Structures are given as structure tokens and as C-alpha cells.
Amino acid sequence: MLSDDTASGIAARVAERWRRIDPLLPPAAHQTSPHCGAPLVITDDGAVIAAGRCEHWAAAPGSLDLSWGAARRFQLSTEVAGPGVADGLGRLLVAWREHLASVPDAGDADTAAVLNWPSRDADGIATLLKHGLDPLEVIAARPTRRRPAAGPGSVTPNGSVLRLDGHTVLRRAGAADTDVVARLGLEIIRFDARFGAVNERPNTLTALRHEVAGLLAGPAPWTWLAERDGEAVGMLAAQPPEAAAWIAPMTGTVPAAYLMLMFVAPGERGAGVGSALVDEFHREAEAAGVAVILLHYEQLNPVSMPFWSRHGYRPLWTTWQAAPASAIR
């Protein structure tokens, strides 16, 4: 087990390294998530050069988490100080692989070995690939103050609409829209299920309804619908900072909001509906003083990365995974 002294020693060196790599990364503080206690500490000439904690995580039955990945995930948080990042990370991954080999159910079908690696920490990438991990998802970030949203500041109050053309309007969603927002959310999960990490489960729509009901409960939800002749053709749903606390520690910039769901119907794509939804959300987030917006996209989704990049987002963390968990080499 990593002692607190060892942890704080390496944490300071990782913090220094991360500051140089990417100013949006958090200070590499002592990791607080629960972990199994496996001794994942790599030394070189007596100095700790890499350390990890393995969390044995299981999705709550019926939860939306089940749709975002494997039901059971062995999640490694890493602290790799360098010099010799590739070597330190490689030895840490070997130690993790040996630990997972001792866990009887790490070979079960619905499991994955998962770790987040700073996207700009290029020195680790070849090592992650060599050990059988795939870069399936990205947490992207958009520092709002450096890139003001396009267009005039016209946040849609409840009940008013922004006319995109003669047939299409954009409006803020409310509690009465729970079903339609959940249904469009299901379309995202179905679309993204092609790209290796996301799964539609028997309870996905029910879990989405529950999640969306929470998003739409407040007085001015950060959720918008685009409607063509009265039919919903696009949707964006986001969490303001008070609801995004679960992901905020992935960056040192505060306050952070989270863009959770975004979808435009296939026949409507490429006509600016997605951009209009994003611009509206950006105006609202900036007016609320949000400093950074985070979102997930699937690395292999061919429309995601170009779209988000055009709207000011760039990779912050890459989520690497091997499934089943025992597939890590």
C-alpha cells in the first residue's frame, strides 16, 4: 500500500510535470477515490517514480452508468513522475496486470480495465498501446473566457424561442420535455455504441428518464431543444457547476460545467442546428461565469471531434481501456 509520505512525495513531482504539460490539468493532488490496496509502487534507485491505485468499481443496478461502459471497471489512477515516463508507466502497467491476474472475475465479459491519461502527455501513449489499452474516449475542455461564443448575447428565457429558419426553432426545455429529451438521449447512446465503450442496456431509457428528470427539475434547466415544425430534431443537455461537481476535479480551472448530451437527428445534420444549440449553451454558461466546460466524446465517433474542435474544445484526458479487464497485456 502507498503510504501518505510516499504519495505526497510523488504527488509534488507529478504536479510539477502536469503544470508543464497542460495548464488545464488539476494539481496532481493525493488521490482520494477508494482503492483495493494493491501495492502498485515502482521505484528506481530507491526513489518512487510511479504509483497507482486500483479501484474495483461496479455500476449500481439500473443506473445510467451501466450504459457508459462495462458493468464492472478496474480503474487505475496513476502518478508517473518521470524522468523516464514510458519506463515508469510501463512497469506500473505490468504491476497492475499482475494484480488483475490475481482477481478471479477480471476476465468476466462485462468488465474493463480503465485509466485516464492526460491527453497532452504524449510520452505515455506508445506504452499504453503496447499494453493492449485502446484510447476510446476523450474528456475535452473549453476554457470559456478565452473563446467567447459566436453571435449576440441572447440567452433564451423560459418560454421564448430562437428562430433558426422558417421551420426550426430553438427553445429551453422544461420538465414536460423529459420523455423527448430522454428519447433523444437514447439515440446518442445508440449512435455512440458503435465506438467501443458505450452500451445500450435494457434499462437505458428508464435510467435516462431519471437522469433527465433531474436535469429538468430546476427553474431554468441548461437543456435546449431544436424543433422543426413542432417535432424535436436536436437536443443539448448540460449540468451547471453545482451539478458537475462529480467531474470538476478533472481540471484545476473553476467553476466547471459539464455538457452531458448532444444530438441532432441524422436527416438534420450539417445544417447548423448543432452549432446553434452549442452557441446558446455557451452564452448561458458564460453569463453564469463558468470558466471551463467539460464533455466526453468517443474518440472514434467521426462527427464528434471535428465538431467539438470547431467549437473551441480540445482533449484534456484520454480514457484508455482493455475489455475484459484481463485483456491488458
Provide the binding-site residues for ligand COA, judged by CB under 6 A: 188, 191, 262-264, 269-275, 297, 301, 303-304, 307, 310
- In angstroms, the CA 96 to CA 8 distance is 21
> What grid cell was written down for 22?
497542460
If the CB atoms of residues 90 and 185 are measured against ligand COA, the closer one turns out to be 185
Minimum distance from residue 106 beta carbon to ligand COA (Å): 29
| Number of residues in the chain | 329
If the CB atoms of residues 74 and 307 are measured against ligand COA, the closer one turns out to be 307
If the CB atoms of residues 62 and 270 are measured against ligand COA, the closer one turns out to be 270
Chain-centre distance of CA 22, in angstroms?
Answer: 17
If the CB atoms of residues 92 and 170 are measured against ligand COA, the closer one turns out to be 170
Which residue has the CB atom at the shortest distance from ligand COA?
A: 274
If the CB atoms of residues 30 and 310 are measured against ligand COA, the closer one turns out to be 310
User: DSSP string spanning 136-204?
Assistant: EEEEEEEEGGGSPPSS------TT-EEE-SSSEEEEE--GGGHHHHHHHHHHHHHHHGGGSS----TTH
- In angstroms, the CA 235 to CA 228 distance is 12
> What grid cell was written down for 59?
455500476
Minimum distance from residue 313 beta carbon to ligand COA (Å): 10
Minimum distance from residue 310 beta carbon to ligand COA (Å): 5
If the CB atoms of residues 18 and 263 are measured against ligand COA, the closer one turns out to be 263
Question: Per-residue b/e over 100-136, b at no fewer than 16 CB within 10 Å?
Answer: beebeebeeeebbbbbbbbbbbebbbebbeebebbbb
What are 30-34's contacts with CB under 8 Å, separation 24+?
Answer: 30/4, 31/7, 31/77, 31/79, 33/75, 33/77
Minimum distance from residue 192 beta carbon to ligand COA (Å): 6
Minimum distance from residue 282 beta carbon to ligand COA (Å): 13
Minimum distance from residue 216 beta carbon to ligand COA (Å): 19
